[in-house]
Amino acid sequence: MKRLKHLLLFSILIFSLFSYRVKAEDWGYYKEITISNFSADYQVKITVHYGSGTDSTDVVYLNSHCRTDFSDIRFRESNQTTNLSYWIEEYTTGDEATVWVKLPSSSQTIYIYYGNSEATDQGNVNDVFIFYDDFPGSSLDTNKWTTGGQGTLAVTDGYVYASSFGTGSGWHGPEAVATFNTTTDFIVETRMVFDHYQSSDLGFNRMYLENSSDWKIRFIISDSHAEETQYRKLADDQTYTYWDTGTPGSGSDGEHDWCLQRSGLNMVVKYDGVQKYSGTCITDTVDRVRFMFWQYSTYNDIWMTVQYIKIRKYASPAPSFTFGSEQTTNSPPNTPTNQSPTNGATNQSLNPVLTWSEYSDPDSDPQQAWEVHVDNNSDMSSPEWEGSGVTGNSITVNTTNGNFSNDCTGQVELDEDETYYWDVRVQDDKDNWSDRSTATNFTTGEFSPYQPTNQSPSDQSTGASLNPTLQFTYSDPNSDPQQNSDILLDDNSDFSSKEWWTGLMGGGAVTSIVVNVSNGTFYNNCDGQTKLDENTLYYWEVRVQDDTGRWSIYSGSTQFTTGSVPAAPTGCSATYVSDSQIDLSWTDNSSNETGFQIYRSVDSGGYSLLKTEPENSTGSNDTDVSADHTYQYKVRSYNDVGNSDYCETSQVATTPSAPSNVSANLQGTTITITWTDNSSITDLHQIERSIDGGDWEYLDEDSDGTYEDTWQEAWNSVKYRLRAKCTVGPRYSSWVESNTLTSNQPPSADFTFWGSGDYKVSFDASASTDPDNDELTFSWDFGNGSTDEGVLVTHNYETGGEWTVTLTVSDGKDQDQIQKTVSINVAGGDLRPYSAPNSSERKPSEVPFEIIGKKTKESVEFLLDNNLGLILIIIVVIVLAFAMKNKL
């Protein structure tokens, strides 16, 4: 019982493996091949293409459904189950293959199967041909050949090399014989290589076709004795025929194809595809293939090379084929079902999402593609939209996922309030399409904004402005906000030649716009048009867009007629009255103005509206003015139609601000006048001079803030005055006078000082100056009752304390004094020596000086070294002692 169980399990396992093998070797596609001129067991050559194309006599295209190496192609008899023998002679991956097929014995219909990703090549050349050898490996196949004779037979790289090295007349070649038994007509094909020269009748490189007892038919390839000539010969009962001449080569250059074709007693020989012989042979059965050498005379070293030998059936005419259309062995996917929108649904999106049932396939083949049609005809005869994809079961109807048939108009969505029908089909990975689903319908909703209404100017109104404001309505069924507007204005009711167009305005919720160059384009703007023409009838219409991108239809057009603008005023002038008032005047040239607009520019800035005056006005005033400014005005007339051109006044200035800090300084004979410019409308100043208190005389106008004059010896004094000048007007500020300069300028006293030991202080007056470069004298009062003269002096204070030092500097006419306080404090009193390693030091006394001058206050501190005084005393004592010693 246990053994039975194991046997049962083993049987189940074998059955499972077998079932898997059958499934793994399923072929997805096939084509029927109808054979004309059928010949049983005939070997046919078919060129198989991987890609797509048109099948012909011996060429078939597999539409990229086979493996790229063609290992899954099979040929079957008419019962579609019995495999035929085939052999793939050569192939190029993903391109084409040369395939030999052995036809069946009776049927005129066969099939080519392909499309199995797991299949491997099962072709066998020996099952296809009567005889075939392309010499693989390194030795002759002894199952095909028997060998003998002299010399050697070697197999290398797909070639057999036969060579003989004997001498003298007679048979010295090796021999190889293959036997094949056939009573049918046949073709022998071989490729030989001729790569040497031999002398006269040296030997015969032969391939024999003969019966076993006698030479009846011989197919002989031979070299001649001529060095540059090669002959190929046929011997039929030892009768030689010379065909042509040639030059041997090496490798592929020496390769030549030979074909012996026998039909009954008729024999044809072809060399490199060209027929060289046709004749009648004997009735003996040819049953062997032999190649050998024949040698005579005294020469040696002969050889020959053969690449392959192929023997196949011969038939004339040869069979030909007709290929049927590609079929599949696989079941198509199940028909999908439309799910959403539900059948009859209304108010659907203009870019609806279409959903169908999940993909399913009776063979469990994976999904490869789907295809959806949407049409406004129930027969789906002209789809409005077509979409396709790979996987999934839903799609949004838009330009990303498919194409609108009316996309020449830029269509991006379905039409509003329209009934549409749709269906879908799916495809498996064997290229099988399901049936199309049953079409269902849905109706789209209304989503675009409502048609706007023109509001202003009212229809057929007159006297409209040349830059009118167009007003219209916006309303949306879904309350979507406004995103865009598009307005056309034309003097033709068909809007065939736009006069003005906004383009796509953007800007959101806009329901009014002024007709001007800022908001749109005038299409007659070659003359710089900025407004509509006067007394002209115009038509206009508008469409609006919501924030979903949907446009309304255009409003019904309405019309209006423009009026005429008033004539421009002339003779505009502005008159300065005071720094708080400027009067304006002009000439009124119109009879239809509503009034006059006055614009003002301050200090050459931009214009802004100042005020308006009623119709028939010829003047006005500006009381909002102030000093140190310039003003300019322009005036225009206006009415409801528009504005006239401007009339502009000249610029008017109020009084400029006067300068300040006017100063005259004398250095030598050069007088420099400086001042501060306080005006915002001018930097130009007039300069006048008064000598010795006399009348003022004009000198110059200057804008640099400084001016130079030259002192004359005859002068006793001089004075200057300046005023700001504005060239607009011109207008002047008030005069501002400088200080008075006399013939002599007093000196300026200054000095420095420093401690120079004990209580001694040095004073230096070289910092004192004189503007006239006069010679100076210096007098010192040291504050302790002592005085001195000179620019550099030294004074020794006997004790510490505080003294006020006065320096008087004189140029002989004028003098100047300066005082500074000297404070001497000796820190530490009497100092004692203190000890330090390897040294004897005394701490220096600190003598701070507090210096107070006439103009500045400074703090100075320096050190007096009491040790220095002690050292000096010691030196004096030593010197005196030495002197007294010498005296004694």
Over 90: is that where the pLDDT of 843 sits?
no
Average pLDDT over residues 103-116: 92
CA–CA distance, 399 with 676 (Å, rounded to integer): 75
Of the pLDDT bands very low, low, confident and very high (cuts 50, 70, 90), residue 607 is: very high
What angle (nearest 5°) sits at the alpha carbon of residue 415, between those of residues 335 and 408? 95
Average pLDDT over residues 241-245: 49
Of the pLDDT bands very low, low, confident and very high (cuts 50, 70, 90), residue 521 is: confident
Tens digits of per-residue pLDDT, 146-195? 877 666 778 888 888 776 655 555 545 566 667 666 656 778 887 776 55
CA–CA distance, 735 with 738 (Å, rounded to integer): 10
Q: Which residues contact 853 (CB under 8 A, 6 or more apart)?
A: 750, 818, 819, 820
Over 50: is that where the pLDDT of 579 sits?
yes
Average pLDDT over residues 880-885: 63
What pLDDT shows up at residue 281? 61
Of the pLDDT bands very low, low, confident and very high (cuts 50, 70, 90), residue 302 is: low
What pLDDT shows up at residue 461? 93
Mean residue pLDDT of the chain comes to: 81
Among residues of the chain, what percentage have pLDDT more than 70? Answer: 76
Using alpha carbons, select from 26, 28, 21, 99 the residue that is nearest to residue 58: 99
Over 60: is that where the pLDDT of 887 sits?
no
Tens digits of per-residue pLDDT, 131-159? 898 889 998 888 888 877 666 778 888 88
Over 60: is that where the pLDDT of 222 sits?
no
What angle (nearest 5°) sits at the alpha carbon of residue 472, between those of residues 467 and 476? 150
Average pLDDT over residues 702-730: 92
Tens digits of per-residue pLDDT, 307-341? 888 888 888 888 999 999 998 887 899 999 999 99
> Which of 2-11, 15-24, 70-79, 797-806 has the lowest average pLDDT?
15-24
Average pLDDT over residues 600-622: 96
Higher pLDDT among residues 572 and 828, named by residue: 572
CA–CA distance, 610 with 851 (Å, rounded to integer): 66
Q: Which residues contact 565 (CB under 8 A, 6 or more apart)?
A: 466, 534, 637, 638, 639, 641, 642, 643, 644
Of the pLDDT bands very low, low, confident and very high (cuts 50, 70, 90), residue 283 is: low
What pLDDT shows up at residue 159? 85
Using alpha carbons, select from 279, 260, 193 the residue that is nearest to residue 230: 193
Helix (H, G, I), strand (E, B) or coil at 873: helix
Average pLDDT over residues 373-394: 93
What pLDDT shows up at residue 831? 34
Of the pLDDT bands very low, low, confident and very high (cuts 50, 70, 90), residue 737 is: very high
The CA-atom distances, in angstroms, between 432 and each of 211, 327, 371, 386, 668 are 58, 10, 13, 19, 116
Give the count of beta carbons closer than 10 Å to the beta carbon of residue 862. Answer: 14
CA–CA distance, 257 with 361 (Å, rounded to integer): 54
Over 70: is that where the pLDDT of 872 sits?
no
The CA-atom distances, in angstroms, between 611 and each of 581, 596, 624, 741 are 15, 9, 11, 53
Residues 280/230, Cβ–Cβ less than 8 Å: no
What pLDDT shows up at residue 813? 75
Over 70: is that where the pLDDT of 196 sits?
no
Strand bridging mode 717-726 / 736-737? antiparallel
CA–CA distance, 848 with 831 (Å, rounded to integer): 17
Locate 322 and state its tokens.
């007709």
What pLDDT shows up at residue 522? 86
CA–CA distance, 529 with 424 (Å, rounded to integer): 58
CA–CA distance, 561 with 547 (Å, rounded to integer): 34
- Adjacent-strand bridge partners of 687: 700, 722
Higher pLDDT among residues 462 and 3, named by residue: 462
What pLDDT shows up at residue 261? 79
The CA-atom distances, in angstroms, between 706 and each of 350, 665, 734 are 82, 11, 18
Of the pLDDT bands very low, low, confident and very high (cuts 50, 70, 90), residue 678 is: very high
From start to end of 603-705, where are the E strands? 607-614, 619-622, 630-638, 647-648, 652-653, 660-667, 670-676, 685-691, 697-702
Q: Which residues contact 377 (CB under 8 A, 6 or more apart)?
A: 421
Residues 523/491, Cβ–Cβ less than 8 Å: no
Residues 531/466, Cβ–Cβ less than 8 Å: yes
Using alpha carbons, select from 850, 826, 853, 752 the residue that is nearest to residue 793: 752
